[in-house]
Amino acid sequence: MNRKEYIKKSLQFGLCAGALITLDRSSLAGIAAPPDAEDCTSVKNERDFVQNWLSDLMESIDRELDEDTRIKLIEGCGRACFNRYQFKKDIAIKGKGDVDKLIEAYKQNFEVWREGDLVHIRYGEVSQGCYCPAAKYRPARPNDLHCECTRTTHQTIFETALERPFKVDVLETVRRGGKTCHFLVHLS
């Protein structure tokens, strides 16, 4: 190694060492240290609490409210889910004002096809399970109310993109015993 290379390497080493020295230990510990068992247990306990609470809530809704009220309540969750997640809003934005553009935008995340005045939205021919974290750990039911949330999310995407009301049917869902989730949008 010649003198010029030696000085260059020494300066690089010195700069790297200096940068490491100036970082405080807590910033390095936050990056390098894996979570300890107590942290993992705490997170699991909170997850279990939330999942149990959601199960209790859904059971209470099923037991205490009439069907129309149950559906209206869950529809509010579906609209909020649309508003909360940018990828759902992006589908509506990309499809704004044009059904064919909307179908193309949907194809980024779903299996979608049009049959005349009907649009099918399907989560593949077979789904591995429910994708929603709020429903994933709860037992499924034959007329699972949670599927109304997803139905309303798709309805909201269509209504936002095309600026008019749409009827959306639940044809099949994993939570209701199907092999996939399949929704049908009525264009007229």
What is the tens place of the pLDDT at every residue in 118-176?
Answer: 999 999 999 999 999 998 888 898 899 999 999 999 999 999 999 999 999 999 999 99
Residue closest to 158 by CA, chosen among 176, 180, 183:
183
Compute CA distances 66 → 63, 130, 177, 187, whole Å: 8, 25, 23, 29
For the chain, the domains span 23-64, 67-188
CATH 3.40.50.300 fits 67-188, yes or no: no
Share of the chain above pLDDT 70, in %: 82
pTM of the model: 0.77
Residue 117 has pLDDT above 60, yes or no: yes
Determine the Cα–Cα distance for residues 22 and 61; give it in Å rounded to an integer. Answer: 56
Within 10 angstroms of residue 43's Cβ, the number of other Cβ atoms is: 11
Write out the two tokens for 10. Answer: 């020494």
Determine the Cα–Cα distance for residues 80 and 75; give it in Å rounded to an integer. Answer: 9
Q: 85-113, pLDDT tens digit by residue?
A: 999 999 999 999 999 999 999 999 999 99
Q: What is the dihedral of CA 26, 32, 34, 35, to 10 degrees?
A: 30
Please report which helix (H) or strand (E) contains residue 168, including its range: strand 167-172
